[in-house]
Amino acid sequence: MKKLIFQLFTLIVFVSNSIAQSGVTSYTAPTDPITYDLKIDASGNKWVGFRKLGAGKFNGASWTTYDTLTSGIASNQVNSIAFDPTGNVWLGTIKGVSKFDGTTWTTFNVINSGLPHDSVTSIYIDNTDIWIGTANGLAKFNGSSWTTYNTTSGLTSNLIQCISVETSGDVWVGTRAGLCKKLGSTWSNFNTTNPYIVNTFNIIAIYIDAANDKWISSKGNLGNGVYKLVGSTLKPLNTLYPVLSASVSAPYSISKGPMGGVSFFGSGLTEIVGSQVYRYTYAGSDYNAVD
């Protein structure tokens, strides 16, 4: 599950190609201090998944909150957010997946669909395929039919924590027990017993950049930090970028950064652009970029 936990949550928006202090604007969000996901839709609205408040949408001026009292959302705990090509927002909750088209809510759960568990941990939309990670396996929904994958199919664990899909269609899945890749109908597993991965077990984030490089976050005693898949080896970032400390904290999210690089949060925001590393640290009331 992606957990972006802050004692006092503010929504931080970076201006593209700017790393100066003036490139950061903070917006006060609703009162729930714990958020599980943040995504931006095609219209520029910022969607936030809260632990107790449901989903919040910020249009740049005001917030709209969707909870079980004011909308058809399944639960007030929203773990994951994704958007399909037609503009629907998909919200993964602890009581199933809720789809919102701007007017109508539709919820999929274990009773009315092929979802293997109501506790949804992650969602990734690949064109028309909706990939849904749950506490009991992975599901794919193509709009009409469901396909489920679990340890019997070849996954290392049924607890799915993150999903990403290459442009080629290969599916990468992070589980509580290692990294999995689906190529066609075949699963390949990379855990601590496989030399493809180095001391990495509990996979909590996967990001595939424009160059098709894979960036992995792992948390736990067997491997804690951010790794990059280089050839057939998963290498700790500090071995590739010596300016980083030997132990980079394990972020729950890796994404495209404000300058188009690879970005993750931990002791400030770190962004890797080519061979350069930028770190945005909070000092007083300003954010500063340092090499």
CA-based radius of gyration for the chain: 19
Look at 116-125, 152-161, 221-230, 240-249 and tell me which has the smallest mean pLDDT: 240-249
Tokens of 129: 């395929």
Tokens of 149: 């994958």
| pLDDT surpasses 80 at 155 | yes
Per-residue pLDDT tens for 45-63?
999 999 999 999 999 899 9
In three-state secondary structure terms, 237 is: helix
Q: Which residue, among 165, 107, 104, has the nearest Cα to 138 in the 3D structure?
A: 165
Of 2.30.30.30, 2.130.10.10, 3.30.565.10, 3.60.10.10, the CATH number of 4-216 is 2.130.10.10
Is residue 192 packed enough to be buried (19+ CB in 10 Å), middle (13-18) or exposed (0-12)?
Answer: middle
Q: Are 146 and 116 in contact (CB under 8 A)?
A: no
Residue 144: which region, alpha, beta or left (left: phi > 0; alpha: psi -120 to 50)?
A: alpha
Q: Domain map of the chain by residue range?
A: 4-216
Q: What is the pLDDT of residue 170?
A: 94
DSSP string, 125-167: EETTEEEEEETTEEEEE-SS-EEEE-TTTT-S-S-EEEEEE-T
Q: Are 167 and 140 in contact (CB under 8 A)?
A: no
The number of residues making up the chain comes to 291
Per-residue pLDDT tens for 278-291?
877 655 444 444 45
Residues forming beta bridges with residue 83, ordered by sequence position:
89
Residue at 256: amino acid letter: K
Per-residue pLDDT tens for 210-230?
889 999 988 876 567 888 887
Average pLDDT, integer, range 189-211: 72
Q: Are 57 and 29 in contact (CB under 8 A)?
A: no
**C-alpha to C-alpha distance for 55 and 44, rounded to whole angstroms:** 16
Burial 210-249 (b: 16+ CB within 10 A, else e): eeeebbbbbbeeebbbbbbbeeeebebbeeebeebeeebe
**C-alpha to C-alpha distance for 208 and 190, rounded to whole angstroms:** 17
Helices first, then strands: H and E counts in the chain: 1, 28
Q: What is the pLDDT of residue 194?
A: 55
Provide the pLDDT confidence category of residue 17 given band limits of 50, 70 and 90. Answer: very low
In three-state secondary structure terms, 108 is: strand
* Interacting residues of 267 by C-beta distance below 8 A, sequence separation 6+: 249, 281
Q: Are 99 and 130 in contact (CB under 8 A)?
A: no
What are the Cα distances from residue 110, in Å, to 88, 104, 194? Answer: 21, 20, 34
